[in-house]
Amino acid sequence: MHLLNRLFLNIAVAALVLAPLGAQAGERPVSDITPRVVDLTQHLAHDVISFLGFGPDHANNPTDPQPVAEQAPIERPRAQIIPREIAPLPLTDLGAPPRLPAAVAAAPTVETPLHRLFCVEYARMRSGLAMFGDAKHWWERAKNIYARLPHPVEEAVMVFAGSKRLKRGHVAVVTDIVSPRQIIVNQANWQNKGEIDHAIPVLDVSPANDWSLVRVWDMRSGGFGAHVYAISGFIAKGMRTASRD
């Protein structure tokens, strides 16, 4: 603000000096007036340049940000990371992947998905099999495409044959093999609510132990259901292990 007032004052003084120049040009030599005009012009130019921030005083311009003294970096204590060790599970047989023993197997649970799921939709996503249509047709349509097995293997899809009770059949994904007579499956819509049932036991009740007839765990009663269902077989992409025994 001080420089601005000074600028206006210099302009006013210049006007007063130059005003009588035209009237007195004939009386006073131009050589006497010229040094004053030059000096005033230079002084005025210095003030204008300094005000705009281009002159030698630019470094001291109070509008410039002042330098901040460097501060030593603040050392913060680092969080101590302690790696956790995962104890390896013992192998039940040579080459087989480690699995949890039956004694610590998860209890059956029900999951409510974001939208209603059908058994074929869930089995397709869970197993990766490119099978479509009603579940009862999967066994025939898998011929010459996937391995079709008479006994359960992990990650295989168990195909329920069509019946009066299961008009479109049913499919479930084998997640674990407990014994030659019992397996664990994940499935969807078994209760006709579009739900996902996890860790559901399935019991083979066929006389020859060929997995042609099964009973499925009933969530409401907490035991195997009374109904017996016919099984067409198991569809798998590859072989893993057929039994823990």
Report DSSP letters for 73-99, one per residue.
PPP-PPPPP-PPP-PPPPPSSTTPPP-
Lowest-confidence pick of 6-10, 15-19, 225-229, 230-234: 15-19
Residues 110 and 229 in one domain: yes
Give the per-residue pLDDT at 17: 53
Residues 139 and 43 in one domain: no
**Domain range spanning residue 36?**
2-60
Is the model's pLDDT at 146 over the cut of 60?
A: yes
Q: What is the CA radius of gyration of the chain?
A: 46
- Within a domain: residue 76? no
Total number of domains in the chain: 2
Give the per-residue pLDDT at 80: 46
Give the per-residue pLDDT at 69: 47
Buried b (16+ CB within 10 A) or exposed e, 87-123: eeeeeeeeeeeebeeeeeeeeeeeeeeeeebbbbbbb
* Segment 42-64 mean pLDDT: 45
Is the model's pLDDT at 140 over the cut of 60?
A: yes
- Within a domain: residue 117? yes
Lowest-confidence pick of 29-43, 79-93, 122-136, 191-205: 79-93
- Within a domain: residue 65? no
Is the model's pLDDT at 223 over the cut of 90?
A: yes
